[in-house]
Amino acid sequence: MYLPYNMKIAVVGTGYVGLVTGTCFAEVGIDVTCVDIDENKIENLRNGILPIYEPGLEEMVNRNVKAERLHFSTNLGEAVKGTDVVFIAVGTPPGQDGSADLKYVLAVARGIGENIDSYCVVVTKSTVPVGTAAKVRVELEGALAKRKANIEFDVASNPEFLKEGAAIDDFLRPDRIVVGVGSERVEEVMRRLYKPFLLNGHPIIFMDIPSAEMTKYAANAMLATKISFMNDIANLCEIIGADVNMVRRGIGSDTRIGTKFIYPGIGYGGSCFPKDVKALIKTAHENGYQMKVLKAVENVNETQKEVLFNKAKKHFGNDLKGKKFAVWGLSFKPNTDDMREAPSLIIIEKLLAEGASITAYDPVAIAEAKHTLGKTITYAKDQFEALVDADALLVVTEWPEFRSPSFKVMGHLLKQKVIFDGRNIYDPAEMKQIGFAYYCIGIRTDH
């Protein structure tokens, strides 16, 4: 019997990366089974309920399930049988010492070795340190040896560069696809798999496996560096009376620097930058090298997460007891419900510790926030409800709907017309004109 599709793959782990990867491959006509150990997640997915918020994903999942190209399973054994490629896309959270914890990746590798029945390529899509593909190979070989099975396989590294909030577009129209391979045979399989994405000229870059593993860390470390660098410049601008927005435009017009990722703010968060920067520092340390720049990047970021809180404390004469704050935005960035390492968590923790109370609003992250923050804060139904009787507003995540609110209405709802804007989305001159005390990042506004 022939499969109606060109290739059959399995994607293990149905989080932000696995679910987007599996769905986008199904979208271009590949037979995909997404596997997860979380039974609840798989049951929900079968019923069209997604575990995460990602624009456009729900519709795409449902379309491909209906077309019978996308399947969900908790049975790794069944899913990997007869596949051309198995992706490992499970989490690699930071361990106690900052290194990437590989126990989920290696457990999946073992499971694949216990079940494959024909040649396949096992690909690490999770972000993993140099040397992990070799460990994956050892796990598979061990499992196959136990079964006394003589089945060929290869490993490859295919780090993922998608951005949460724009994940589908990033996957379907990638800046580049990086694949680490050890043989022409694997290169051919991976080229065939990605062919539908290459038709519009998106490049696929083949390299050796360690270089591919390192590329992902180097990319995230560079982006984190841009953020911390710009935050450092912003803090100095504020002290010496320069306007960081002007400086940003001034430097961004230099094509060697570029306009992207040089916006000052309240520090990077999310599931990737903090853990990947830590892991790279740790990898270097284990190999007798010190990543001096990245240590400073981390340092600046930790301090930056407190900047908005410090401004609030100063404004209210060091006394926040009994003050009520409205918080707009909880997720670590717009268009996602991801709360991992979100700056909002630090800001809220510090405000609560000072005896303040908080009412927060986020367009999609409230359910996720409740897991972490529970009843320590109040949640508003919309952005304006959060303002009622608050002594000040803190803009923490730059969701589009926060960008052009009615300041008149806000002035009526707030007890005091005070805004601490961690994302520089309003115009300081306008705010001054309409009588708001307005604090932002990298522009002195308290005079």
> To the nearest whole angstrom, how small is the minimum distance from the Cβ of residue 217 to ligand NAD?
10
Identify which of 224, 353, 240, 243 has the alpha carbon closest to the alpha carbon of residue 299: 224
Return the number of the residue (339 or 356) whose C-beta is nearest ligand NAD: 339
Min. distance of Cβ 164 from ligand NAD in angstroms?
A: 4
Cα→Cα distances 83→42, 265, 285, 293, 350, Å: 20, 45, 38, 43, 50
CB 6 within 8 A of CB 21: no
**Residue selected from 108, 221, 373, 394 as contacting ligand NAD according to rule CB under 6 A:** 108
Task: Give yes or no for a contact between 344 and 397, defined as CB atoms under 8 angstroms apart.
Answer: yes
Minimum CB–partner distance for residue 107 and ligand NAD (Å)? 5
Nearest residue to 83 via CA among 6, 8, 185, 190: 8
Active site residue 272: yes
Q: Which stretch binds ligand NAD (CB under 6 A): 9-17, 170-178, 355-363, 428-436?
A: 9-17
- DSSP type of residue 267: -
* CB 129 within 8 Å of CB 221: no
Q: Does 107 bind ligand NAD (CB under 6 A)?
A: yes
> In the range 149-168, which residues lie near ligand NAD by CB under 6 A?
160, 162, 164
Taking the CA atoms of residue 195, residue 198, residue 203 and residue 204 in that order, the dihedral angle to the nearest 10 degrees is -10
Q: Which is nearer to ligand NAD, 111 or 329 (CB)?
A: 111
* Distance in Å, CB of 363 to ligand NAD, minimum: 19
Query: Measured from the CB atom, is 238 or 341 closer to ligand NAD?
Result: 341
Decide: is 35 part of the binding site for ligand NAD (CB under 6 A). yes
Among candidate residues 24, 34, 237, 272, the one labeled active-site is 272
Beta-bridge partners for 34: 11, 72
Task: Give the residue with the Cβ less far from ligand NAD, 245 or 283.
Answer: 283
User: Is residue 305 a contact partner of residue 346, using CB atoms and an 8 Å limit?
Assistant: yes
Determine phi and psi for 346, rounding to 5 degrees.
-70, -45
Q: Return the number of the residue (162 or 431) whose C-beta is nearest ligand NAD.
A: 162
Binding mask 121-150 for ligand NAD (x = CB under 6 A): -----xx-----------------------
12 binds ligand NAD, rule: CB under 6 A = yes
Q: Can you tell me whether residue 236 is helix, strand or coil?
A: helix
Q: Which stretch binds ligand NAD (CB under 6 A): 14-22, 179-187, 205-213, 436-444?
A: 14-22
230 binds ligand NAD (CB under 6 A): no
Question: 218 vs 211, 213, 224, 302, 381, CA distance in Å?
Answer: 10, 9, 10, 20, 40
HSE toward the beta carbon, residue 67, CA cutoff 13 A: 19
Beta bridge partners of 124: 88, 157
Q: 239: which 2 tokens?
A: 């002290």
Q: From 12-20, 150-158, 297-305, 352-360, give the range in contact with ligand NAD by CB under 6 A.
A: 12-20
Q: Which is nearer to ligand NAD, 58 or 306 (CB)?
A: 58
Q: Which amino acid is at 443?
A: I
List Cα–Cα distances, 185 to 73, 123, 152, 153, 156, in angstroms.
29, 14, 12, 11, 11
| Beta carbon nearer to ligand NAD, 272 or 300 | 272
SS3 sequence, 197-218? HHCCCCCEEEECHHHHHHHHHH
344 binds ligand NAD (CB under 6 A): no
If one asks whether residue 54 binds ligand NAD (CB under 6 A), the answer comes out as no
CB of 37: closest distance to ligand NAD in angstroms? 4
Nearer of residues 274 and 428 to ligand NAD, judged by Cβ: 274
CB of 163 to ligand NAD, least distance (A): 7
d(CA 146, CA 140): 10
Residue nearest to ligand NAD (CB): 15
Q: Does 13 bind ligand NAD (CB under 6 A)?
A: yes
C-alpha to C-alpha distance for 191 and 179, rounded to whole angstroms: 9
Q: How far is the CB of 288 from ligand NAD (least distance, A)?
A: 25
- Binders of ligand NAD among 76-105, rule CB under 6 A? 89-92, 104
Please list every residue from 271 through 290 that binds ligand NAD, using CB under 6 A: 271-272
- Would you tell me which residues interact with ligand NAD (CB under 6 A)? 12-18, 35-38, 41, 89-92, 104, 107-108, 126-127, 160, 162, 164, 271-272
Active site residues: 272
